[in-house]
Amino acid sequence: MKFEKLNSYIEEKKKIIDSWLLSHLPPPGREPKPIFEAVYYALFPGGKRIRPILAIASCELTDGNIGDVLPIACAIEMIHTYSLIHDDLPCMDDDDLRRGKPTLHKAYNEAIAVLTGDILLTMAFEYMSNIKLYKNPSLPRIVMVINEIARASGKEGMVVGQVADITWEGSSVTEEKINYIHTNKTAKLIEVSVKSGAIMSGASYREVEVLSEYGRLIGLAFQIVDDVLDVTSTSDKIGKKTKKDLSRGKLSYVALHGIENSLKKAKELVERAKEKLAIFEEEKCWMLKDLAEYIVAREK
Ligand code: GRG
């Protein structure tokens, strides 16, 4: 089986991520109810955990200790989860299915969904800035990574990408607009996941640069494949509503290039990403190569 080794790597890391989250989050029954219960609802069983796994893989590739990247990796997953909850709200994408179950505002209500997103985002920064949570805390690395993640999640990345995505709906599709949306809305958080793992391990400047480029390329490929799956997959398979982009006039890669050419583009990006890893020994970077391939081969 093609991804056998990768699948066991993913399963092993997922367990580590879940147990870190479970041992650091407040208990679901903590007052005032139901906010922490909603946090658990959003985070477990969770999705693919691609971003924290990329952070861990990049840290391991550059000889770092997993105990120094886990607070960062888990915080990134919390930021990603907040973005999905807010993205699903009626005032945004208005979805009722996420990760195979009712979206948070359907399971609870809109106010609790907004607040669950808020608390996930703020707890992410609380955990990342708590030096007691790291194995061997290096303050300069922690501060640098928090700054990178704040930028990638906000004004230099995800939030502005989301604003463009929403406000450009229904307008003419151009390569420039699509690249702006996909790079900011999706690729920057994936890029910073890989970059953070390298910074936390104390990787060299060149290694950090190369891994950031790798992250940017697979991040773009990831969103292109997401656009394709919106057209080719079903809700049962991917656990969220499909066929939304075209009906809503969303600017997607598929709208501009069609399915075949979009997949071709995603594969090209993944090949370029894998080439970037040539500076590392083959037996050490296999997981990042396989993760890149998994991104285009994935069915959900
Ligand atoms: C600031 C009010 C406010 C809202 C923010 C920033 C934002 C809303 C939304 C982010 C945009 C977004 C949802 C981008 C989509 C990225 C994407 C492809 C998500 C799906 O990621 P997967 O497939 O999901 O990794 P799983 O469920 O596997 O974790």
List the domain boundaries for the chain. 4-297
| Amino acid symbol at 239 | G
Is residue 196 within 8 Å of residue 149, measured between CB atoms? yes
Shortest CA distance to 52 belongs to which of 4, 104, 10?
Answer: 10
Q: Is the pLDDT of residue 245 over 90?
A: no
107-127 burial, b at 16+ Cβ within 10 Å, e below that, comes to bbeeebbbbbbebbbebbbeb
Q: Does the domain made of 4-297 have the CATH classification 3.60.15.10?
A: no
Q: What is the pLDDT of residue 299?
A: 86
DSSP 230-292: HHHS-HHHHSS--S-HHHHT---HHHHHHHHHHHHHHHHHHHHHHHHGGGS-HHHHHHHHHHH
- For residue 102, which phi and psi values (nearest 5 degrees)? -55, 140
- The pair of three-digit structure tokens given for residue 269, joined into one six-digit string: 């990006």
> Is this model's pTM higher than 0.85 or not?
yes
Q: Is the pLDDT of residue 292 over 90?
A: yes
In the chain, what percentage of residues exceed pLDDT 70? 100
Q: What is the pLDDT of residue 96?
A: 96
pLDDT tens-place string over residues 66-93: 999 999 999 999 999 999 999 999 999 9
Tell me the average pLDDT across 184-209: 98
pLDDT tens-place string over residues 224-244: 999 999 999 999 999 998 888
Pocket mutation for ligand 1, best pick of 18, 41, 51, 83 (most atoms within 8 Å of C-beta): 83
DSSP percent split of the chain into helix, strand, coil, nearest 5: 75, 0, 25
Q: How far is the CA of 273 from the centre of ligand 1 (A)?
A: 22
- How many secondary structure helices (H) and strands (E) does the chain include? 15, 2
Q: Is the pLDDT of residue 246 over 80?
A: no
Which residues make Cβ contacts (< 8 Å) with residue 15, sequence separation at least 6? none
- For residue 129, which phi and psi values (nearest 5 degrees)? -95, 5
Q: What is the pLDDT of residue 243?
A: 87
In the chain, what percentage of residues exceed pLDDT 90? 94
Tell me the average pLDDT across 260-287: 97
Q: Is the pLDDT of residue 2 over 90?
A: no
Tell me the average pLDDT across 165-173: 93
Q: How far is the CA of 169 from the centre of ligand 1 (A)?
A: 17
The pocket around ligand 1, CB under 6 angstroms, is made up of 47-48, 50, 80, 83-84, 86-87, 99, 158-159, 162, 185-186, 223, 226
Q: Is the pLDDT of residue 247 over 90?
A: no
pLDDT tens-place string over residues 105-151: 999 999 999 999 999 999 999 999 999 999 999 999 999 999 999 99
Q: What is the dihedral of CA 20, 193, 98, 289, to 10 degrees?
A: -100
Pocket mutation for ligand 1, best pick of 10, 80, 169, 233 (most atoms within 8 Å of C-beta): 80
Is residue 234 within 8 Å of residue 193, measured between CB atoms? no
CA distance 111 to 104: 10
Mean pLDDT score of the chain: 96
